[in-house]
Chains A and B, each alone.
Chain A
Amino acid sequence: GAVVSQHPSWVICKSGTSVKIECRSLDFQATTMFWYRQFPKQSLMLMATSNEGSKATYEQGVEKDKFLINHASLTLSTLTVTSAHPEDSSFYICSATQGGGFEKLFFGSGTQLSVL
């Protein structure tokens, strides 16, 4: 089946630093990738939808200048958390769709971010 690789799996950083998370589709071209955030015991919350070669579409309440998304190729999307603060500590997950439909989502393994 399709594989989505997400790195790093976990990261600990100091407040004020920036953290980059990568999401790669290993065996298919992902025209659309999604970024989610999940707080403990909460549901997945969609942050933004990323289409290759265009600007990401952010969900209401998500700061686009804080969560920079780049989808420069059909196999790679990155999420950069700029000037991270402790409240940004969360589980971040990416997913990708194969082809033009949304029949299935293929998820990365997630990144646990802890900001000290």
Chain B
Amino acid sequence: RKEVEQDPGPFNVPEGATVAFNCTYSNSASQSFFWYRQDCRKEPKLLMSVYSSGNEDGRFTAQLNRASQYISLLIRDSKLSDSATYLCVVNGDKIIFGKGTRLHILP
């Protein structure tokens, strides 16, 4: 298993739909988990941290499953402005970025 693996995408989704991203990690000792969003030729920006109990921020919900070693991100009622690349980040022995999943929201 790769250190951090994400759906390759791209996801082309109509506006208003719900989108789900999954990410798996190989290091069971990983300590913290994050979702970042990156727009083209821009720096990644923290979207949300992921906690074991799951956490929600508006239309965004993140969940962590330590037993299965995966994290997820759910976007509800997607907006055109949600179009970006979503990066899964796992902190274990070192901070590792997934390759990202590109999301295109279609009008």
B95 engages A34 (CB within 8 Å): yes
Main secondary structure, interface of B, reads strand
Contacts of B45 in A (CB 8 A): 107
> With an 8 A cutoff between CB atoms, is A91 at the interface?
yes
B99 engages A43 (CB within 8 Å): yes
B94 engages A108 (CB within 8 Å): no
> Which A residue sits closest to B102, measured CB to CB?
A41
**Which residues of A from 61 to 109 have beta carbons under 8 Å from B?**
91, 93, 102-105, 107-109
A43 engages B97 (CB within 8 Å): yes
Residue in A34, A42, A103, A109 whose CB lies within 8 Å of B42 = A109
B41 engages A112 (CB within 8 Å): yes
With A43-B97, A43-B98, A102-B32 as known contacts, state yes or no: A107 contacts B87, CB within 8 Å. no
A43 to B95, CA, bound (A): 13
Smallest CB-CB A-B distances: 10 pairs: A43-B99, A107-B43, A44-B97, A102-B91, A110-B43, A109-B43, A93-B43, A43-B100, A43-B97, A107-B44
Contacts of A91 in B (CB 8 A): 41
A44 engages B44 (CB within 8 Å): yes
Contacts of B44 in A (CB 8 A): 44, 93, 105, 107
**In angstroms, how far is the closest chain A Cβ from the Cβ of B15?**
24
